[in-house]
Structure 1
Amino acid sequence: MDVHVLSNQELERFKRELLDEIRSMLSQSTDESTAKQWLRSAEVRKMLGISPGTLQNLRVNGTLPYRKIGGSMFYARQDIERMMKGGCANG
């Protein structure tokens, strides 16, 4: 397994590029009034183009709030959009 150490600058650049792509995808999504208010994990991963592990990290570190109902996790669309705009989704 190759290991490549990234500098802080490279990580920051990757973060900016990733957020720009996600913002672009969100802006192309359907009109908010017709869009679902709550999304399941799979829908969020598909919408953001992220892995299950990345979504878990967003939950664990408090970046993206969620509600667990039964065995399913749900995410508010407005929290996802707020996170992508760079604001804290927790308020």
Structure 2
Amino acid sequence: MTVGDLEAFKQQLFEELQNLLRERRTNENKQWLRSADVRKMLSISAGTLQNLRITGVLSFVKVRGIMLYKHEDIIALLESGSQTK
């Protein structure tokens, strides 16, 4: 690795951290999240999210065909480390 490689890595890491913080701030203001937001937060596929629903690991409500999840439940799941990728 060269110094340039390390600088590029540092810049990429910094940008990713900024994006994560921006997303978290946006999602913190929401009480309910849609499936796409949850998949993004947990870095999981639609199938994995479905498995979390089926197994009861993640509770949800369905309103007019849209699955909604409580923001606090997603944070609890992240903190518990019980979600699998």
- Indicate the TM-score class for this superposition, using the shorter chain for normalisation: 0.5 to 0.7
Cα RMSD after superposing both structures: 2.3
Give the TM-score normalised by the residue count of structure 1.
Answer: 0.58
Structure having the larger proportion of residues in helix:
2
**TM-score, normalisation: structure 2:** 0.62
Once residues 59 and 67 of structure 1 are traced to their aligned partners in structure 2, the CA distance between those partners, rounded to angstroms, is 10
Report the CA distance between 1:87 and its aligned residue.
8.3
Q: Given the alignment of the two structures, is residue 83 of structure 1 paired with residue 77 of structure 2, yes or no?
A: yes
Gaps of 5+ in 1: 1-23
What is the distance in 1 between the residues matched to 2:41 and 2:60?
16
- Matched positions, count: 61
Structure 1 residues 87 and 52: alpha-carbon distance in aligned structure 2, compared to 1, 3 A threshold: closer
Percent identity reads: 51
CA distance in 2, matches of 1:85, 1:78: 10
Contiguous gaps of at least 5 residues in structure 2:
1-16
Runs of 4+ more than 2 Å apart: none
